[in-house]
Amino acid sequence: MEILVCVRRVPDTSENEIALNAAGNDIERDDLVYSINEWDNYAVEEALQIAARVGGSVTVVTVGGEDDEEILRREMAMGATHGVLISDGAFAGSDARGIATILRAFVQKGKYDLILTGVQAEDGGALVGGMLAAMLDYPFASLVNSIEVLDGKTLKISREIAGGNKEVNQIDLPCVLSIQTGINEPRYVGMRGIRQVASIPIPTLGVSELNLDPQLVGLAAAKVQRVDYFTPALGKGAEMLQGSREEIVDKLFELVAAKGGLK
């Protein structure tokens, strides 16, 4: 089975403090550490596990620039056979629709049985996977937390819905799935693994290689654009208890008792 995983490089939320910059219109990007979007990492691991079970190979692709190559290498160190960078000045400012358009052009150049994305990105809207599916006229399912290959043509998948319940579906290949965290335990990738794949070439594809009409992508074509970042004016918020820990413990006890919280 040929599996394509669409990945994205994002600022790592656990290793950064996301804050506004001095000008107040963007996040402070100076000291940011980037890594692969957490959901996408789960998707790559899932793809690798499926390929190990039924045979086939995994390709990782990202739309971005030079800096994004590092996450492609990381996923190749995990086991992905091919990495592709899609990069062109014309793509700058694309919204989700634009990205999906670009990816559609790439998918149509190859032959993939299964396309995976993460459910969402830290700074994204959980849109690209669903849009890509519609553009390709492939069936789509989001929030997937389990995949079983029934045969070469169908998958049995379950989706995470409210209350911890699972919605079980059957879906035909080729299809697009967006993968939820916790579906598996991603394997470790270390510096050595990345060094070992350092010399494998990563092709870069642009507008011409993809036969894309530049009018369909980029800032001009984007119907959705981020205007700025801001921190919302804080409301009143909680009443913060003051004093020594002992005093706070006492005060809290009174409050809990008053609200009927004791047995």
Partner 1 sequence: MVEGIRSPAESTYWLIQGRMLFLSIHLLGLAGFSYIVAKRLRPLLRGQADVRFDRPVQRLGKVFQFWLGQWRHPRYPGAGILHILVFAGFLLLATRAFSLILGFSDNFFGATLVGHIYEMVREYATTIVFACMVVLAVRRLAFKPERYAVPAKYGKGHTADAVFLLALIAILMLADSVFEASKGAAQAQLGHPAEFLAFLSLPQILENLLAAVPLAGLQRLYLGSYLVHDLTFFFLLCYRPFGIQFHVETSLFSIFFAKLDRGTLKPVRWQVSDQQLDQVKSFGVKTFDDFTWKHMLDFYSCADCGRCSDNCPANAVGRPLSPRFLTIKARDYCFEHYPVLGKASNGVALVGSIYSEDEIWSCTTCGACEQECPLLIEYIDKIVDLRRGLVDECNVPQSLQKPLKALESRGNPYGKMEKKKADWTKSKEFQPDCRVKILDGSSPADTLYFVDSVTSYDDRMQAIAQATAKILDRLGVNFGILGAAEKDSGHEVRRFGEETLFMALRDHNVEAIKASGVQHIVTADPHAYNALKHDYKDVPPVEHISQVIAREVKAGNVTFQRADENKVYTYHDPCYLGRHNDVYDDPRDVLDAIPGMNRVEMARSRDRSFCCGGGGLMLFYEPKEEERIGVKRVQMAVEAGANVIVTACPFCMVNVEDAIKVAGLEGKMTAIDLTELVEKQMVCPRKSEVAVQGG
Partner 2 sequence: MSRIFAYIVHKAGVADDSALELAAAARIIDPSASLTALVMGSGPELDKVCAALPNTYAEIWKASNESLAYPNAELVRQALVKILPSGSIVLVAHEHFGIDLAPGLSVRMNAACVSDVSGIEGLNGSSLKVVRQEFGGQVSAHVACDISSGAVITFRPGAFKPVETAAANGTVIDKSSEVGVLAAKRRYLETVVAEAGDVDITKHAVLVSIGRGIQEKDNVAMAEELAEALGAAVSCSRPVVDAKWLEKSRQVGTSGKTVKPKVYLACGISGAFQHLAGIKGKPFIIAINKNPKAPIFQVADVGIVDDLLEFLPEFTNKVREMHSLSTK
Q: Which partner in partner 2, partner 1, none is near 244 (CB below 5 to 8 A by kind)? A: none
* Only segment of 84-92, 105-113, 117-125, 199-207 that touches partner 2 (CB under 8 A): 117-125
Q: Closer to partner 2 by CB, 25 or 208: give it.
A: 25
Q: What φ, ψ does residue 27 adopt, rounded to 5°?
A: -80, 155
20 vs 216 by CB, closer to partner 1: 20
Residues 39-98 that bind partner 1 (CB under 8 A): 78-79
- Structure token digits, residue 5: 């995983």
Residue 29 found at the interface with partner 1 (CB under 8 A): no
* Residue among 12, 123, 167, 209 that touches partner 1 (CB under 8 A): 12
- Residue (of 102, 111, 104) closest to 82 by Cα position: 111
Contacts of residue 101, defined as CB under 8 A and 6 or more positions apart, other chains included, come to 94, 135, 212, 216, 217
For residue 47, give both structure tokens.
């793809």
Residue from 79, 78, 92, 74 nearest 36 by CA? 74
| Short-list 190, 206, 37, CA closest to 123 | 37
9 belongs to the binding site for partner 2 (CB under 8 A) = no
Among 7, 10, 16, 177, binds partner 1 (CB under 8 A): 16
Please report how close the Cβ of residue 98 comes to partner 2 at its closest, in angstroms. Answer: 11
Q: Which stretch binds partner 2 (CB under 8 A): 48-56, 108-116, 186-194, 233-241?
A: 233-241
How many other C-beta atoms lie within 10 A of the C-beta of residue 159?
18
Contact between 98 and partner 2 per CB under 8 A? no
Structure tokens at 120: 């969402």
Residue pair 1/149 in contact by the 8 Å Cβ criterion: yes
**CB burial of residue 126 (10 Å; 0-12, 13-18, 19+):** middle
- Cα–Cα distance for residue pair 240/246, rounded to 1 Å: 15
Partner from partner 2, partner 1, none contacting 199, C-beta within 5 to 8 A by type: none
The 201-230 site mask, x for binding partner 2 (CB under 8 A), equals: ----------------------xxxxxxxx
By a kind-dependent CB cut-off of 5 to 8 A, residue 55 interacts, out of partner 1, partner 2, none, with: none
User: Angle at the Cα of 8 (from 7 to 12), degrees rounded to 5?
Assistant: 130
Q: Which does 138 bind (CB under 5 to 8 A by kind): partner 1, partner 2, none?
A: partner 2
**For binding to partner 1 (CB under 8 A), which residues are involved?**
12, 14-17, 31, 33, 35, 78-79, 185-193, 195
